[in-house]
Amino acid sequence: MIDTRTYPRIAILTLSSIKLISAAPTNEVPGRGVLCLGTFIYFVEKTEQQCRAGEDPEFQARIASYSKRFDDYIVRNTGGDPAVLEKFKEGQNLNSEDRRYICEGDAAESYDGFKSADAGELDRAVDALLAKNGPPSFGDCV
């Protein structure tokens, strides 16, 4: 099952993009940090969908690809039930339709941070984090 320890959403969303990318531990227990970086990716994707559709097609396609990879990893490593993923996203308030919550403040800043991050570095961080199967957890990225 998913490690659902409560982390303040504000703290997660206000990390710098450098810290976000370094949230992917390369020599640690498989699955550790997946929920942390995955949550950032999901918020960036949600911001794109609700607030910035079509503005940055290449960046948004890359984020959508990451999001799909995190979805697949989480479902595969929590028993194969997509309902577990949906419950996790609901618990992180990722299903919010509140435009102010998604389009302003911390969520919008996360989008900008990821957009300005080095694409190759982010690709490598996602690849390393998702390279080995293991129970997804937040790890210690906050």
Nearest-5° Cα angle at 122, 4 to 106: 55
Query: Which pLDDT tens digits describe the chain residue by residue (142 residues)?
Result: 554 443 334 334 434 444 555 555 555 789 999 999 999 999 999 999 999 998 999 999 999 999 999 999 999 999 999 999 999 999 998 888 888 888 987 888 899 999 999 999 999 999 999 999 999 999 877 5
CB 3 within 8 A of CB 135: yes
Beta bridge partners of 137: 32
1 inside domain:
no
40 inside domain:
yes
Whole-model pTM? Answer: 0.82
137 inside domain:
no
2 inside domain:
no
Longest dimension (CA), the chain: 38
115 Rama sector, left if φ>0, alpha if ψ -120 to 50, beta otherwise: alpha
49 inside domain:
yes
CA dist 2 and 141 (Å) reads 16
Domain count, the chain: 1
141 inside domain:
no
Domain of 109, in residue numbers? 9-129
Is residue 81 classed as helix, strand or coil in its secondary structure? coil
